[in-house]
A = this chain, B = another copy of it.
Amino acid sequence: MAGMSTPPLPSLPEWEISRWFNTERPLRLADLRGQVVLVEAFQMLCPGCVSHALPLARKIHQSLADSGVAVIGLHTVFEHHAAMQPHALEAFLYEYRLTFPVGVDAPSDDGPLPRTMAAWNLQGTPSLLLFDRAGRLRARHFGAIEELPLGVALGQLLAEGPAAQPVADSAGEGEGACADGACAVPPARS
């Protein structure tokens, strides 16, 4: 975000989704080239996701979809798996009026972290990632995020053509379990 450090950000592999909601056909990150892409990684029972991250993602979807911002939810369940199965997520999306596409991060065979979350090395939920029109990761943030700097970052990405430099990689203070609005992946798992 504006004013944050801008370390080199890694190139991320395509997401792995076991089920989609709010889209007629499966989406690939690669198919969204040309748009600025905001990925909100969340869990439906993560308090900070419910109170802050998802309402903000919803607001961005409503106000900026026509301006070229694609909002994608990524349900990255790494705890309480039985309580957050896809049928429960479906009820959650309905009750919270979330209408942007949401993909269920594919479960892994050898651990609690789902595949995309592990491949992208996410620290927990909520995690927000911004990709530019060329599909490159440009910012990443774990934890609560403020509207103003997020708006500035989106404005900068919308203004540029498909070629640019990293914007930011940052994280909140979460250090395990859910606290201060964010659920961190325990150290042992990451």
**Chain A residues with a Cβ under 8 A of chain B:** 2-3, 45-47, 50-51, 56, 59-60, 63-64, 66-67, 80, 82-84, 87-88, 90-92, 95-96, 146-160, 178, 183
Provide a sorted-by-A list of 14 A–B residue pairs whose CB atoms are within 8 angstroms: A45-B92, A46-B95, A50-B50, A59-B148, A63-B148, A64-B152, A67-B152, A80-B91, A151-B153, A151-B154, A151-B155, A152-B152, A154-B155, A156-B158
CB contact between A156 and one of B2, B80, B84, B156 (< 8 Å): that residue:
B156
Tell me what chain A mostly uses at the interface: helix, strand, loop, or mixed. Answer: helix
Complex alpha-carbon distance, A152 and B130, angstroms: 14
Contact B2 A63 (CB under 8 A): yes
- Name the residue on B nearest A43 (C-beta): B95
Given contacts A2-B63, A3-B64, A156-B156, A150 and B149 within 8 Å (CB-CB): no
Contact A91 B95 (CB under 8 A): no
Which of A46, A56, A92 counts the most chain B CB atoms within 10 A? A92
Contact B67 A3 (CB under 8 A): yes
Contact B87 A82 (CB under 8 A): yes
The interface residues of chain B lying within 8 Å CB-to-CB of A90 are 83
Complex alpha-carbon distance, A5 and B51, angstroms: 31
Complex alpha-carbon distance, A136 and B105, angstroms: 47
Shortest distance in angstroms between A89's beta carbon and chain B's nearest beta carbon?
A: 8
Contact B151 A45 (CB under 8 A): no
Complex alpha-carbon distance, A91 and B45, angstroms: 8
